[in-house]
Amino acid sequence: MAAGYLRERNGHFYVRTRVLVVDPKTGASRYKHVERAAGKSRRKALAMVRGLRDEVQDGRYVPCRLTVLQLGNMWLAEHVEVNLKPGAAASYRSTFYKHVAPVLGNVRVDDCTGQTIRSLLMRKRAEGVGEGTLMKIRRHLHAMFAFAQDAGLVVVNPADLARARAGNGGRHSVRARGTQLSPVQLARFLAVCSPRWRPFFVVALDSGLRRGELIGLRWGDIDLLERIIHVRRSIGPHDDPDADPERRAGEGELTTKTAAGRRLVPILDGAQHALEDLYATTKDTSDTAPVFATVEQGVGRDGVRRPVGRPLSPRMVSRVFRRYATRAGLPDTVRLHDLRHTAITNAIGQGEDILLVAAFAGHAKTSTTVDVYGHLMPQRVRDAALRMRSVAAAAVTTPP
């Protein structure tokens, strides 16, 4: 009779038993412990112990014989490539084949535990991998094993038991908040920008849009009378800018980063003037024409002939920003994304409601806005301390 027992960790129960595993290649057999998460209820956990024990006793429990490499290939082909944008899918592929497959590729999925994941992260940290990349590796592994759980291949997600946290001095913990540019730095930066590029960076500073969202803007998304930008799409390095249902039906839709990315953003005074001037000097202002378009004519340096009026290249935009940032004497650590960070920081500093700022920023969760920009809240907390009425003081002054 197979034995089973409970384990409790941090208020959660896990049921555990062991099963005889036979290697199909060598015929060798060994006992392997299997574990299932049972939640916080001891009664349900005891019932799960009996169910798991019966599965093992009756031979209905079948361990997974896939290797991590085989599972990763299946996950990338059946889930990542199908459900994610090309840029995100490329990031998942890169993380798996660069960091995970060389180390865990030959390990059986059944043999992966929390310690296995922790050992991988410790090894990568010793190799000099940054804290941000370590957290990305753990997130991607968690997604892969969650896919395996949904497919019935594993019971427990080992990545749940391995957390990659940045240290107090980790690079990721410093970079997460970004760099807020001062008015002097911004004035110096915009002064060195050419007339062609200044409107792009002015709109970036006033709207807080992501790089791909700026590139994906079309004149049909801009309402200069109501002063509203309709964010409907984003173009990344791996996206085809012509894959838009408004232009070529059946080619696939250019979506935003998340569902919350489809939003309305107000047009502030600086962006309003820049867009009005750009609209007045642009030849093609049809609804499907890109707001920020290429001006290349004829054959480019690479020998390829491209039509005028295509959306800008994401990588080219970043290179142009870096060139102007260097001319303006900005630190090397300043990124194009810091224009967005500066816009959101200014909105919070001016007292805008955090829920409204999160909606304008396109954050899927308000907690993201609070986590990244919570360090800007002290003044608002002090204002609340003066504005809110004390419940305790009222109770003391009220006669019983």
- Give, in order, the Cα–Cα distances in Å from 283 to each of 207, 279, 291, 292: 24, 8, 11, 12
Give the N- to C-terminal CA distance of the chain in Å, as an integer.
66
Tokens of 396: 């003391």
Range list for CATH 1.10.150.130 in the chain:
68-169
Mean pLDDT value of segment 234-257: 59
- Which tens digits make up the pLDDT trace of 5-37? 667 777 777 766 666 655 555 666 666 666 666
| Superfamily name with CATH number, domain 68-169 | Tyrosine recombinase, N-terminal domain (1.10.150.130)
Mean pLDDT value of segment 121-139: 90
Closest CA to 148 of 117, 110, 115: 110
Return the C-alpha torsion angle 98, 102, 105, 109, nearest 10: -80
Q: What angle do CA 96, 98, 104 make, to 5 degrees?
A: 60
Mean pLDDT value of segment 77-104: 89
The pLDDT of residue 150 is: 84
Give the integer Cα–Cα distance in Å for 391 and 393. 6
The third-level CATH classification (topology) of the domain covering 183-381 is hpI Integrase; Chain A (1.10.443)
Give the integer Cα–Cα distance in Å for 241 and 218. 11
At residue 305 the predicted structure's pLDDT band, cuts being 50, 70 and 90, is low
Give the integer Cα–Cα distance in Å for 65 and 328. 58
Closest CA to 336 of 349, 325, 345: 325
Give the integer Cα–Cα distance in Å for 178 and 234. 21
Quote the pTM value: 0.65
The answer, yes or no, to whether residue 62 has pLDDT greater than 70, is: no
> CB atoms < 10 A from the CB of 262, how many?
15
The answer, yes or no, to whether residue 201 has pLDDT greater than 80, is: yes
Q: Are strands 4-9 and 263-266 parallel, antiparallel or unpaired?
A: unpaired
List alpha helices for 151-197, DSSP H: 171-175, 183-192
Mean pLDDT value of segment 136-155: 86
Tokens of 135: 């957290």
At residue 261 the predicted structure's pLDDT band, cuts being 50, 70 and 90, is confident
The pLDDT of residue 89 is: 87
> CB atoms < 10 A from the CB of 200, how many?
22
**Average of per-residue pLDDT values in the chain:** 79
The pLDDT of residue 64 is: 64
Which secondary structure element, helix H or strand E, spans residue 376, and what is its range?
none
Give the integer Cα–Cα distance in Å for 259 and 263. 9
pLDDT higher at 62 or 276: 276
Give the integer Cα–Cα distance in Å for 175 and 169. 11
At residue 374 the predicted structure's pLDDT band, cuts being 50, 70 and 90, is low
- Which tens digits make up the pLDDT trace of 330-368? 999 899 999 999 998 888 878 788 888 888 888 878 777
The pLDDT of residue 194 is: 92
pLDDT higher at 301 or 220: 220
The pLDDT of residue 172 is: 41
Mean pLDDT value of segment 299-319: 76
Mean pLDDT value of segment 103-117: 84
The answer, yes or no, to whether residue 252 has pLDDT greater than 60, is: no
Q: Are 46 and 25 in contact (CB under 8 A)?
A: no
The pLDDT of residue 169 is: 43
The pLDDT of residue 166 is: 40
